[in-house]
Structure formats: C-alpha cells, structure tokens
C-alpha cells in the first residue's frame, strides 16, 4: 500500500463525544505511526441538523486533544458537484438508474414482500425502464441479485452479506442531493483515503459502499470496524454513565494527554501497559491489537489516569493548563516561579486541574476567610503567643529555607511544650483558613516569607478582635 491516508468525518449536529473522539484518535495515531496523512471531513449534508456552533465545538475539541489534521476540514455541502458528476457516470455506465416510484408504491411493494415471507424492499420496477431524469425521480444503484458481498475487516474479520438482501438503494434524492453512502464513497475516493477505521455501527453501511466502489471500478480501502463504547451496565454510552462532550472534560480539569491515554485504551492494548504518553502511543499503536469486544467507560479509571499524568508533568507544563482553571475562579495568574511552586505542593494530591485550582486559591488571595469551626478550634488565646513568636521568627530569617523553618518549629516546640501538630495546625489555619493543605513546610516555602508572615499576623489580629 502507498502512503497511509486515514480520515475522521464527524457530523456537525452536536458536540464531539467520547466515541467520536476515540475514532478520530485511532485514525490519527495510525497515520502518525505510519508517517501517513490524516484528513478531516465535516459531513454536513443533513443541513437541518448541522450547525456552525457544532462545527466550531468539534474543531476546538480536536485541537484541545492535540489531534491535528494534514488536510481539511472539507465540507460535504461544498462538494455537491463532485457527487453529481459521479452519479451521472454511474447512470451512463448502466450501474444506476432513475426511479419514479412514489413512497406509496414502494410501501406497497414492501407489504407485498412481507406477505410472501420475503425481505421487505424495493422490487426493482424501474430498473430496466431507462427513465429520464425529472423533478420526481431518484437515482438508485443496480445491486447484484445473487451472490454475497464480503467485508474484509481488519478488526472483526470477514463478514458476508447476501446480495439478495440488499435492494437497489437510493444514491441521490429527487431534490438532487446525494445520499450518505454515495457521498462517503466519493469523498474517500477523491481524497485518496485507503484506510477506514470507524465504529461498528457503520458496518451495516459497508456492503452498500463496497457495491458503489465496485460500480465505479475503484479499489476498496482497508476497513476496520471497532466495537462501541458502553457504560458499566453494558448499555450504549450516554450522559448517565458520566460520558459528556469532550469539551466538558476539559472544563472538568482533565488533561488532554490523559484523555488521549484513556480513549486509546478503550479498544486497544499493548500488553498490560496502562499509562502512555503521547509519544509512546504514536510509537506503539497498531491495528493488530484493536479489540473485537466492546469497551466499558469508567470515570474512576479516567480520574486515576489523569492523576498520574498530572504527577508526571513538570510544574511549568501544568502551569499553562492551570491558568485556565484559575481564571474561572477569578484569579489572574502567570506561569511564573510562584505558580510553579504552588503546583509542586499540589501535584501529588490532585486528580484534576479543577481540584488543583480550587486548592490553590488561598495562595493567590490577599485576604482569606477563616473556616468557622477551624478558627474556633485553633485560633484561640492559647495559640496566640505561639503564632506571634512564629511570625517574628519567620520574618527575621535571612535564609528562608526548609531547614531554617524546621529549626523554628523545634524552638517553638521547646518554648511552648506543644507537639508538632499543635503548632502546625494553628499555622495551617492562619495561612489557609482551613485545616486542609499541602505539607506545612512546602506550603510555607511556596507562599513565601512575606505573605507567610503577613497571614500569621492577621490571624493574631483576628484572635485579638474576638477576645
């Protein structure tokens, strides 16, 4: 085979969902692995349901995932002349014909076939009439009455379809618009697509498309139909299983690399390996290990993978992603040394960037609010003297380091008779407003000497005001 050329043809009648993103990913990875081409095509012939909003959302989702395309996006609504040209060739060559049968007549044919115990379908009445094209005629493909159409599938294996069960199906409506199966074949032919990886819900269309290829005298592409993604209850994936549009996962704080990792594992394997970085997937992806059974979508597994990818990335890499989520909380920040230091304290315990952003808020606020229960328990006259000494000692440090902070704590423990926790918790509440935070020393270092001192002193003022 020459250069591998794959494609992804979403319909812009909604957002990009998990199943579509996985299909795009498989095609993109195979093109990258083989140094081929990946084509993006927008199948928008259903003009009543297609919207610009959906097109924009699909493109943004692909861009967020890092799935780039070598050609396109092509739009089917801009290709009607190309479809009509191929339809005319099929009619002229005798592989297709004009049909004037009405819906009522076709329904009668189907009912008659049912009554005789046959497959309800069009009976080919106009097949040999050589009718001229008119405003009320459709164009049908002449399909073989006998034999089988074999779908050679690199995932599912060979599947045979009896030609007698495939009627002379419509390839062009009476209004001149090409039908889906015709448009898909012509697009793939004219775009030189030679590898088609798609969901197995399309398998039912494949024998019809093969017949169109054969009528056009064209070579077939390599087909691979991957099983659907299901929910944990083995029902078709839906929102109730936690599956939403790809854009929603970005808003929920998932990393694109984690989504890519998780999506590719929904139907492909490389031994027992679960964690993959993007470069690993491009290097290792193949068609031989695409699975034949349906995959189950599991939000918990996605969260676990996302946590691993967060831990794997450098603070600088994460900074660019975190800024988006901080902004949604009203915090304008930069990906500077301060933010990267904040990230270091939160990386080990964050499953999503939303979690990380929420936990980072206290670092950026000039004034923090004290949790009522935490303040009542830890910001008391009994801790006032210790907090004042801590602020004085921290403010006087020439070298603001963990070693020197640990020395301050030891001194405070000796002077007050408090154990470590009795010192750390009041300080934690003074600095964050709550009893939950990163490790005390890493947090103090990330916050910085000046802010740390200011916050402890504010807590002391808070205690005085209460008294």
Catalytic site residues?
239
Maximum Cα–Cα distance for the chain, whole Å?
A: 106
Q: How far apart are CA 390 and CA 404, in angstroms?
A: 12
75, 261 Cβ separation under 8 angstroms: no
User: Which residues have CB under 8 Å from 407's CB, separation 6+?
Assistant: none
Q: In what order do the strands lie in the sheet with 157-162?
A: 157-162, 148-153, 222-226, 195-199
192 phi and psi angles, rounded to 5 deg? 60, 30
Strand (E) or helix (H) holding 354: helix 353-364
Which two structure tokens, joined as six digits, stand for 454?
A: 């200011």
Beta-bridge partner residues of 197 = 224
Q: How far apart are CA 222 and CA 232, in angstroms?
A: 31
Q: How far apart are CA 334 and CA 327, in angstroms?
A: 10
- The DSSP secondary-structure symbol of 371 reads P
* Among 197, 201, 156, 151, residue whose Cα is nearest residue 293: 156
- The DSSP secondary-structure symbol of 268 reads B
């Amino acid at each position: 085979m020459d250069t591998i050329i794959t494609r992804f043809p979403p319909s812009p009648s909604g957002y990009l969902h998990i199943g579509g993103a996985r299909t795009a990913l498989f095609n993109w990875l195979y093109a990258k692995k083989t140094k081929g081409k990946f084509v993006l095509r927008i199948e928008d012939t259903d003009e009543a349901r297609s919207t610009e909003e959906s097109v924009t959302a699909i493109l943004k989702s692909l861009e967020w995932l890092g799935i780039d395309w070598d050609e396109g996006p092509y739009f089917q609504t801009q290709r009607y002349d190309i479809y009509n040209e191929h339809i005319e060739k099929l009619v002229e060559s005798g592989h297709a014909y004009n049909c004037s049968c009405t819906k009522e007549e076709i329904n009668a044919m189907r009912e008659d076939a049912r009554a005789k115990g046959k497959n309800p379908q069009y009976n080919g009445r106009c097949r040999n009439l050589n009718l001229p094209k008119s405003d009320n005629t459709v164009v049908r493909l002449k399909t073989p009455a006998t034999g089988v159409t074999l779908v050679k599938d690199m995932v599912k294996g060979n599947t045979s379809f009896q030609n007698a069960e495939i009627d002379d199906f419509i390839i062009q409506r009476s209004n001149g618009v090409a039908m889906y199966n015709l448009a898909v074949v012509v697009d793939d032919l004219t775009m030189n697509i030679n590898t088609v990886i798609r969901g197995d819900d399309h398998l039912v269309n494949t024998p019809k498309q093969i017949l169109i290829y054969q009528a056009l005298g064209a070579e077939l592409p390599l087909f691979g139909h991957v099983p659907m993604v299901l929910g944990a209850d083995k029902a078709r994936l839906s929102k109730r299983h936690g599956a939403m549009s790809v854009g929603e996962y970005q808003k929920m704080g998932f990393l694109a690399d984690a989504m890519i990792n998780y999506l590719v594992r929904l139907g492909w394997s490389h031994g027992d390996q679960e964690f993959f970085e993007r470069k690993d997937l491009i290097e290792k992806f193949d068609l031989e290990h695409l699975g034949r059974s349906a995959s189950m979508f599991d939000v918990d597994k996605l969260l676990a993978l996302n946590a691993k990818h967060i831990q794997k990335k450098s603070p600088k890499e994460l900074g660019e992603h975190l800024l988006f989520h901080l902004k949604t909380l009203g915090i304008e920040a930069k990906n500077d040394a301060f933010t990267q230091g904040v990230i270091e304290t939160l990386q080990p315990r964050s499953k999503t960037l939303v979690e990380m952003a929420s936990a980072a808020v206290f670092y950026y606020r000039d004034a923090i609010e004290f949790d009522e229960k935490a303040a009542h328990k830890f910001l008391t006259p009994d801790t006032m003297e210790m907090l004042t000494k801590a602020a004085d000692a921290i403010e006087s440090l020439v070298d603001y380091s963990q070693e020197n902070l640990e020395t301050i704590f030891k001194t405070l423990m000796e002077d007050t008779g408090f154990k470590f926790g009795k010192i750390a918790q009041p300080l934690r509440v003074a600095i964050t407003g709550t009893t939950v935070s990163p490790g005390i020393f890493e947090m103090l270092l990330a916050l910085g000497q000046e802010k740390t001192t200011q916050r402890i002193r504010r807590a002391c003022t808070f205690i005085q005001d209460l008294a």
